[in-house]
């Protein structure tokens, strides 16, 4: 388990952000209808609006991979 994921799940840090997570990349690729996974720079630009809530955004993005109602 990555330390950022541990901080999100165990310590409930809402600003922890596993920016290199494959699931996060796949969710963004799907939701943004990209041909390839987004770069770290692209994700950083998108996440600029998520300050303080990066973990929550990540959970919703992960959930979007298996729940179409998200």
List active site positions. Answer: 21
Please state, in angstroms and rounded to a whole number, the distance separating the CA atoms of residues 16 and 7.
6
Dihedral sign for Cα atoms in the order 11, 12, 16, 19:
positive
> Which residue bears the tokens 């999100």?
8
Please state, in angstroms and rounded to a whole number, the distance separating the CA atoms of residues 22 and 11.
21
């Amino acid at each position: 388990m990555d330390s950022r994921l541990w901080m999100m799940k165990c310590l409930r840090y809402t600003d922890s952000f596993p920016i290199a997570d494959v699931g996060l990349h796949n969710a963004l690729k799907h939701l943004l209808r990209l041909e390839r996974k987004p770069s770290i720079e692209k994700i950083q630009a998108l996440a600029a609006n998520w300050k303080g809530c990066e973990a929550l955004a990540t959970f919703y993005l992960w959930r979007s991979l298996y729940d179409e109602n998200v």
